[in-house]
Amino acid sequence: MTLQATLSAPESAYARKTRARILAAAEKRFKHYGFAKTTIVDVAGDCAMSHANVYRFFANKTELVNAIAEGWLAKSERVCRDVALRAVPARERLVDFVVELHRWKRREHLRDTLKQELLSLASHEGRTFVGVHLGVLADILVEIIEDGNRRREFSVRDPRLLARIIQDATVKYCDPRLVAQYHDQPLEEQARDVMRVLLGGLPAL
């Protein structure tokens, strides 16, 4: 290892820990007081550091919210990956994908209205990372569909197209803003019905 790398390594580790501290403090503040009532100075005080140090990592509150939301979305991606690995038929995994994603969004966001507010703020006007997240979910769906083709459960010529159709058809059950808006409806049951109709039309081998 070069001298420069040796000198920079501890700084990188320190930077990662500092960033994590800031995000943890910001998330706690946002959840308790909301976005509007939280300031960078508040977050810095909770971290026992200057607000100038917070600005080294995040230019403003919006960047803090985006980083927190990215972390939440990454957790939902792991839920979907776990579904893809289940030892059950692909059709069942496709239904479970939507249902488990819906359950996660409902559990994680509806029980905490301020958390819901943060994700809505981050999703507003289509942040880049939201598009990346949707792309990751589409990739997981494609993997399940291609596995179903290999197992000769069905014959889908364009797995990517079917993945997009599934996402479009189930947005009401997976977008946290819509989950919140329609929380008084039997969304999980609706999601299952929609997926049964979609998958019922898949050509079998």
Q: Which of 10, 31, 59 is the last residue of a domain?
A: 59
DSSP string, 149-192: HHTTS---S-HHHHHHHHHHHTHHHH-HHHHHHTTTS-HHHHHH
- Summarised one tens digit per residue, pLDDT across range 17-52 is 999 999 999 989 988 888 888 999 999 999 999 999
How far apart are alpha carbons 38 and 36 in whole angstroms? 6
The model's pTM is: 0.81
Of 42, 45, 41, 21, nearest to 33 by C-alpha is 42
Is 68 in the same domain as 15? Answer: no
How far apart are alpha carbons 181 and 163 in whole angstroms? 24
pLDDT at residue number 203:
72
- Summarised one tens digit per residue, pLDDT across range 68-93 is 888 888 999 999 999 999 999 999 99
pLDDT at residue number 123:
60
Q: Which of 17, 41, 59 is the last residue of a domain?
A: 59
The range of the structural domain enclosing residue 4 comes to 1-59
**CATH of residue 160:** 1.10.357.10
- Summarised one tens digit per residue, pLDDT across range 168-204 is 999 999 988 788 888 889 999 999 999 999 998 887 6
Check whether 125 has a pLDDT greater than 60: no
